[in-house]
Amino acid sequence: MKLRWIGAVLLSAAAYYVYLPLPSTVSEPWKLMLLDAMVVSWVEVIEAHSCSSVRVTDSLLGGVPARVFQPIGGKKLKRGVVYFHGGGWALASGRMRSYDLLCRKMAEDLDAVIMSVDYRLAPEAVFPEQYYDALAASRAFLSAEVRQRYGLDPERLCVSGDSAGGNLAAAVAQELGQDGSLEVRFKAQALVYPVLQALDFYTSSYQQNHNVPILYRPVMAQFWLQYLGADPGLAPLLLANNHSSLDQAHLPSQVRSKLNWTSMLPAERRKDFRPVVRAEGTPGVLAAVPGLTDVRAAPLLADAAVLAGTPRAYVMTCEFDVLRDDGLMYVRRLRDAGVQVTSDHHEDGFHGCMVFAYPPIRSDVGRRSMDRYIRWLDQNL
């Protein structure tokens, strides 16, 4: 991580040097450029951190560690977002700089209380533990006790997350949408390039972007196997779509139709890619790894009636992301189920871009996507 940061600073220094030539006689111009790029990065981060209008505390939410961002002043009754970070169910934390900065900005711009949940991670914890942590934290977030302690408006609460965190947010929205005993419900779900299915590793976006940083196709297969507590040696089988072959007894056509991208996606996304459906695959794998067809792990497989019980949705997708079609198919299925959905597609986006909005990367699409995500929350929560 440190190394990557230094690399990015070096790169921006190099780019800077081209645009901003120094006097030719200055001592060691490269070092001066490097120093300048570092100082500029630090100043921006310090400015973002020092916004004194947000109080940050580490707490527990339903027994799960969470970082809480509370705006100081503003309205008495606040909007609230429970947030699940990305990282393949195995990496990152709400305390990481990029997520910390995102949540501070959300708290400040939205005058909302943000709770960023540190659910347990693989390989120490595997499915369904991450899901149970997300669910426990979300139930606590909606509880009268937490609402009173933090002054949350019961009618303006949202569940959100990016990537693997978007997976957890979608799964939680489905489960709690079915729970008739809840006094208070989520008003919105905001899913940022979520991962939603593990049955088809040949969607048009998996084919188009298999080699696009930062999320390569084989890496996503590894994240899935690790999350589901399965043998990592099964990756070649997954990458061959051998687990969703036509001879799989556990996969009725009614399940297959829920991720049939040839029928669900518009031609401009499908392009010329062809589905890969094997007549024969590896028998028994779905029984050996039941998580592959468990809706709590793969929310795209939920029944329409369950989707219909979920709140108004925002789904961000990026063109250069293997998970693009997971998100776009979910948009389609939610809409078909009668849910109001904003589909926010970034033609120049890549997986993870929203957390690279800040220095030293300062991604342009990262910034734009973050702004649009926050604007949607502002208008819909």
Ligand X SMILES: *[C@@H]1O[C@H](CO)[C@@H](O)[C@H](O)[C@H]1NC(C)=O
Residues 291 and 301 sit within 8 Å (Cβ to Cβ):
no
The CB-of-260 to ligand X minimum distance in angstroms stands at 4
Long-range pairs of 219-224 with CB within 8 A, sequence gap ≥ 24? 219/88, 220/88, 220/195, 220/322, 220/323, 223/88, 223/89, 223/90, 223/164, 223/195, 224/198, 224/292
State in angstroms the smallest separation of the CB of 295 from ligand X: 18
Classify residue 331 by its DSSP letter.
H
The angle subtended at Cα 118 by Cα 83 and Cα 114, nearest 5°, is 30
Nearer to ligand X, 92 or 239 (CB): 239
C-beta of 279: minimal distance to ligand X in Å? 8
Give least dist CB 211 to ligand X, A. 19
Yes or no: say if 317 and 346 are a contact pair by the CB < 8 Å rule: yes
Cα torsion angle, 328, 207, 91, 40, sign: negative
Per DSSP, the three-state class of 273 is: coil
Q: Which is nearer to ligand X, 98 or 293 (CB)?
A: 293
One-character DSSP codes across 5-50: HHHHHHHHHHHHHHHSPPPTTSS-HHHHHHHHHHHHHHHHHHHHHT
Cβ distance to ligand X smaller for residue 4 or 271: 271
Residue ranges that bind ligand X, judged by CB under 6 A? 236-237, 240, 242, 253, 256-257, 260, 262-263, 277, 280-282
- Closer Cβ to ligand X, 140 or 259, answer by number: 259
**What length does the chain have?**
381
Q: Which two tokens stand for residue 171?
A: 């799964």
- What is the spatial distance between Cα 76 and Cα 151, in angstroms, rounded to a whole number? 7
CB of 200 to ligand X, least distance (A): 9
Cβ-based nearer residue to ligand X, 8 or 276: 276
CB of 139 to ligand X, least distance (A): 36
How many other C-beta atoms can be found within 10 angstroms of the C-beta atom of residue 17? 17
User: Minimum CB separation from ligand X for residue 280, in Å?
Assistant: 4
Give the Cα separation of 58 and 337 in Å (integer).
38
The H or E element that residue 220 is part of is: helix 217-227
Select 130 or 242, whichever has its Cβ closest to ligand X: 242
Triad 267, 268, 272: Cα angle to 5°: 65
Distances (CA, A) of 42 to 10, 18, 39, 294, 341: 14, 21, 5, 44, 38
**Pick 23 or 233: Cβ nearer ligand X:** 233
Active-site residues, by number, are: 163, 321, 351
* Strands 54-61 and 64-71, sheet pairing: antiparallel
